Structure formats: structure tokens, C-alpha cells
Amino acid sequence: MTPDHDRRPAQEDWLRDAFARSRDAYPSSQAPVERILATARARRKRHRAAAAVGAVTGAACVLAAALAVSLQGPHPSAGPAQHSSPAASPTATATPGPLTVSVGGGTTGGAPWSVALEFHRTLPEGYELPTAPNGTTASGTALLCQRMYIDGVRIDHQGGPWSDCQPVTGTHDPAGSGGMGLWGFHGKGTSGSRLMVSNPEAAIAYGIVDLTDGTHLKATTVTVPGTDYRAWAVAIPDGKTISAVDQYDKRHHRLTHETQWR
């Protein structure tokens, strides 16, 4: 028998021969060095492009966030916004202006005309209560004015800013009702274009002025809101004469009839 140490070299030689035959039968391909390097370079380019896009996107996000913060105001961490305190209310209260309502208007003889009631809740600055010939001063806490215009000129304007005004007490003074007048610029309303103005009682809804030529002039009563002060008005053309003045309630019942305005 052959000793083991004699068989071992023979086995090693056989293994080397077998390995050589297998290698020669299936030659190995050359390593794709260039393709590996190209792939690596492409990957590096993609990584760099992605990093650049990420940087731009991040900068845009930061810019958008900064813009949003600037538009929304201070960040909550900056503490509450400072607001100026409202100015203290003045101790004196301004007096409200007068209540003014249009009573009527139109044209007469080609000229515009208008009548309005003007109610001052308190006696206006510069107004002085009138004094009677016996030295008695009129009483009143408010002022009711009747403003009448023909062709842009106020009737009785020569008497100053408070002509055709009367003092009254509060908003329900009976002294402010019950009067009627014919107003104009000539001969105390006896010629030229004139205005017929009535300050009727509460029951009067409208008035009708009959002229001698058969003309009927109708006007509706207008009231200053929140008061008992009211009026209606019509314009009497130049050369026309009044035959009668009648006043009616809302049910068309005649309550007054006057003929002294001829």
C-alpha cells in the first residue's frame, strides 16, 4: 500500500489540472471597468443635481415662510402687538344739529320756491329770546324756524338769521301749531309770487287753496319727526287771488274754512 504522504501530492496535482480544465472551458469575461466608472459618475451627477434642487427648494421655502411671517405680523413669540389706547371721551357732548324737513317746493312764475321747518333742540348760540313791549321776555328752551325761499332768496332775510323763528318748549309745545300766513317780498304778501303756509293742528292731513280763476292747490301736511310741529305750503302765482282756504283730516272731512285771504 502507498503511504498517505505519497498519495497527497498526486491528489493536489489532479485538483490543479481539474481547475485549469474548468477555467479553460468557461473563460471569464473581462471586468466592465469603464461601465462601472460611467455608472458611478452618473450617480454622482444625479446626487449633485438632487442636492442643488434641494438647496433651491429649501431656500424658496425659507423665503416663502419669511414672507408669510412678515404678512401675518409679529410671531407669537414676539409678544402681543402694541395697540394705541383710544382717546378719552370728551367731557362735553356736542350739541346735535337741527332737524330739518322739506314741507313743499316747486316753481312759481318760472322761479323755484321751497318751504322747510327747522327745529333746534336747544336755543342756538347767538339767538336771544325776544322781549315784548311791556318788557316781558318770551320763554322757551328750543327754537322752531320756518325757512321760505322764492328764487333762491329767503323771505324776511332782512331780519337776520333768526327771522321767522319762534321759541318753543320741548318737542310738544302747542304754541308751535295753529298759525297760517301768506308770505312774500312785496306789500306783506299782497302782490307778486307768494307762499301760503299753514302750521295746522294734529288732525289736519292736508289743505286746499282755491283761487278765483278756479284753480285748486293742494298740499299735504309734513311733520318734524319726534315732534308736534308740522306744516303744509303752496305757492300763489303773481296776479292770482285766493277765494278760500280749506283744511281736511285724513278721512277727507273738512275741518276749517277761511275766506279772508282774498
DSSP 9-73: HHHHHHHHHHHHHHHHHSPPPPP-HHHHHHHHHHHHHHHHHHHHHHHHHHHHHHHHHHHHHHHH-
End-to-end Cα separation, the chain, in angstroms: 175
CB 232 within 8 A of CB 104: yes
**139-192 per-position pLDDT tens digit:** 999 999 999 999 999 999 999 999 999 999 999 999 999 999 999 997 656 678
CB 124 within 8 A of CB 118: no
Strand partners, 116: 102, 147
Residue at 5: amino acid letter:
H
DSSP 3-state of 177: coil
**21-76 per-position pLDDT tens digit:** 544 444 444 545 455 445 545 555 444 444 444 444 444 443 334 434 444 444 44
Query: How far apart (Å, rounded) are the C-alpha atoms in residues 100 and 117?
Result: 6
Residue at 204: amino acid letter:
I
CB 246 within 8 A of CB 206: no
Q: Please, which pLDDT band fits residue 1 given cuts at 50, 70 and 90? A: very low
Greatest extent of the chain over all pairs of C-alpha atoms, in Å: 176
Query: How far apart (Å, rounded) are the C-alpha atoms in residues 154 and 190?
Result: 17
Q: What's the pTM value of the predicted model, to 2 decimals?
A: 0.64
DSSP 3-state of 247: strand
